Amino acid sequence: MRPRTLVAALVFLFLSWGAPAGAHKTRVHRKALVTVRLAEGGVAPELMIWMRMGGSRAKRFLNRFDINQDGLLGPGESSQLADALGPEAVGGVFLSLNQKRLQPLSASSKAQGVKGDVIEVAVLLTYGPHPLGEGRLTLGARPGRDRPGSHPHLGEIGVLAPLWLKTPKTRVRRLGARKITPKTPWSVRVTLEAPAGPGPSVAP
């Protein structure tokens, strides 16, 4: 992904997801958004992970990385904060295609302070083209990779035309949020087969 596309995607993520319902009651809140596109040689997924952290721990991180203590995070300070919290944001989340674990080709991260006591971190993982095959895509989480007390990821899966997500009843281009834990991975079918009728583009 080109740098300009990455920056636009990260900014869009911050602005569109924003604070989840009940975020003021949750110390850590995380989401994982998968997007799959058709590419030469197969399909190329991207995984965008977002984490929002509040409370005294967030304040400690902000104080630690506000090197000049001016109350603001400059580009260099934000970059260091993103590097420090990126692994926690990702936790044990992984993607597999047709039961084969995918390894990202690149990873980029961004962080910002919000209202003085809240941190938002976004991590973008990009994957090279893989043969579509049966198209069985899984968003899962490995056990033992999260900081104690952190919140499970809420996952969303989407595809770009001409791909579809096949459900028992229809074909859609995006599936709504689902909690991802080591015991509850989420598997969906990615296909090039178009639905028989117009059908919905989004399913819960």
pLDDT tens for 114-155 read 877 899 999 999 999 999 999 999 999 988 655 544 578 999
User: What is the per-residue pLDDT across 23-77, written as a single tens digit (0 to 9) for each?
Assistant: 444 478 899 999 999 999 899 999 999 999 888 888 889 888 888 877 778 888 8
92, 143 Cβ separation under 8 angstroms: yes
Q: What is the pLDDT of residue 22?
A: 46
Put simply, whether the predicted model's pTM sits higher than 0.85 gets the answer no
Helix axes 55-65, 75-90, angle to 10 degrees: 140
